[in-house]
Amino acid sequence: MVTQSTNQLINYTLHLADDTLILGHRNSEWCGHGPVLEQDIAITNISLDLIGQARNFYQYAAKLINKSSQTPSLGEGKGEVSEDTLAYLRDNREFKNCLLVEQPNGDWAKTILRQFLFSSYQFYLYQQLQNSSDGQLAAIAEKSLKEVTYHLRWSSEWVIRSGDGTEESHQRMLNAIDELWMYTGELFEAASYELQAASYEIGINLASIKSKWEEKVKEIFNEATLPYPGKVFMQTGGKEGRHTEHLGYILAELQFMQRAYPNSEW
């Protein structure tokens, strides 16, 4: 018998896992293509951190699912759910990541802006999640926060360097803001499982971190001589499984091996 709260905890954990897996995968696409070697290493190390966080969340979600009687549709997967089945055998509509993290890399400006917008959100999210009434989520948040602090510092520096750089780098940052800003509203719009998780004090209250995030972004944009965007129509739906076309392409690449050769191992 799955209680309502377990169900929400599973969905909430999967949402946190999907955000980190998808952004980790996106960043990993830079491997071997970074503008300079040091930054190629930096972005792929950030990938590694994010995928590591995803593994912690998926392992926990798998444990919760196996303990409960709930068996979400997992393709051909029979029996026990694992971190791998959750990453490799769920379909597009089952992924609960926000739209921001699935957006294509574009140029370096777009990639670092995406990282900055997400890292600053994650920084305040994990700060609060450390106080979760769920011990494991609190532990993962505490562990991950140190890594995210590093990502935030790195991406903030790059936003400033590029925004306040040359005419071209400034223009590229402006383009990146145009392309990504419409996906930032979703970060603070709670999905049903987030509201539930917050009411059980498992998850955090997104409204409580929104103004901190805005302040942070304003501070860095100001330093970077970039304008803070006015009100625009915000795209939402990713957290409820309604994604942009891009997620399908990511999953096609990410899941190909397990779909084509089920249960294959290294």
Partner 1 sequence: MITHKIDKHTIYSYLEEVRDPEIPVLNVIDMGIVRDVILHDDDQVEIIITPTYSGCPAMDVISMNIRVMLSTLGFKKIKITEVLAPAWTTDWMTEEGKRKLKEYGIAPPNPKPQVCNEKLFAPNEAIQCPHCNSWHTHRVSEFGSTPCKALYVCDDCKEPFDYFKCH
What's the min distance (Å) between Cβ of 21 and partner 1?
11
| C-alpha distances in Å from residue 232, one per residue of 70, 117, 143, 165, 235 | 39, 16, 35, 26, 9
Contact between 49 and partner 1 per CB under 8 A: yes
What's the min distance (Å) between Cβ of 34 and partner 1?
11
Q: Which stretch binds partner 1 (CB under 8 A): 44-52, 72-80, 88-96, 229-237?
A: 44-52
Closest CA to 217 of 162, 152, 149, 126: 152
Helix (H, G, I), strand (E, B) or coil at 106: coil
Q: At what angle do helices 108-129 and 207-223 cross, to 10 degrees?
A: 140
Please identify, using beta-carbon distances, which residue of 50 and 87 lies nearer to partner 1. 50
Considering only 89, 152, 197, 251, the residue that binds partner 1 (CB under 8 A) is 152
Contact between 62 and partner 1 per CB under 8 A: no
Contact between 32 and partner 1 per CB under 8 A: no
What's the min distance (Å) between Cβ of 140 and partner 1?
6
Closest CA to 254 of 95, 108, 135: 95
Binding mask 119-138 for partner 1 (x = CB under 8 A): ----------------xx-x
- Chain-centroid distance, C-alpha 17: 7
Contact between 42 and partner 1 per CB under 8 A: yes
Using CB under 8 A as the binding criterion, the count of chain residues that bind partner 1 stands at 30
Contact between 169 and partner 1 per CB under 8 A: no
Please identify, using beta-carbon distances, which residue of 49 and 186 lies nearer to partner 1. 49
Q: Are 194 and 200 in contact (CB under 8 A)?
A: no
Q: How far, in Å, CA of 100 to CA of 161, rounded?
A: 22
* Pair of tokens at residue 171: 């223009």
- If you write DSSP's letter for every residue of 138-162 in order, what string do you get? HHHHHHHHHHHHHHHHHHHHHHHHH
Binding site for partner 1 (CB under 8 A): 37-38, 41-42, 45, 48-53, 55-56, 135-136, 138-140, 142-144, 146-147, 149, 152-154, 156-157, 160
